[in-house]
Amino acid sequence: MIEYIDHIGIAVHSIEENLPHYEGVLGLTCERVEEVPSQKVRTAFFKVGQTYLELLEPTAPDSPVAKFLEKNGEGVHHVAFHTADVQAALDHAGGKGVRLLHEKPVPGAHSKLVGFLHPKSTHGVLTEFCMNAPGAPAHD
């Protein structure tokens, strides 16, 4: 059901302050910066093979990423798995007793539909399922 790792989300205080590391040190290219109002974050995407690194900067004090930064500082925030059917992946996980943060897919960054699993029922890893929204341009 899971096809590949779509992206790894990394919480940051400031995308701009992280560019010297991701571009200057690692030599990656920031493909796009996009605000995702529904998640209260600004995102920046760096392609690494088939997978992206997604920097996540909070845009509001009540953003889930703001709370994470307050508690943990900058670092890995979540792992996102690409699947052909987010609803089926959520239903499957829910059926196994995993606590869902979304019962239904919601709009995410990069023209995707996404759904999250609670980290307290996934052994500490905030887990996302994502797929290309119907009709949206497909990203690698």
CA nearest to 79, candidates 56, 107, 105: 56
Least separation in angstroms between CB 72 and ligand CMX: 7
Environment class of residue 14 by beta-carbon count within 10 Å: exposed (0-12), middle (13-18) or buried (19+)?
Answer: exposed
Which of 18, 24 has the CB closer to ligand CMX?
18
Residues 42, 60: contact at Cβ < 8 Å? Answer: no
What is the binding site for ligand CMX (CB under 6 A)?
Answer: 9, 36, 39, 41, 43, 54, 56, 64-65, 67-68, 71, 77-78, 101, 108-109, 116, 118-120, 124, 126
> Closest residue to ligand CMX, Cβ-based?
64
φ, ψ of residue 102 to 5 degrees: the values are: -135, 125
Which of 25, 66 has the CB closer to ligand CMX?
66
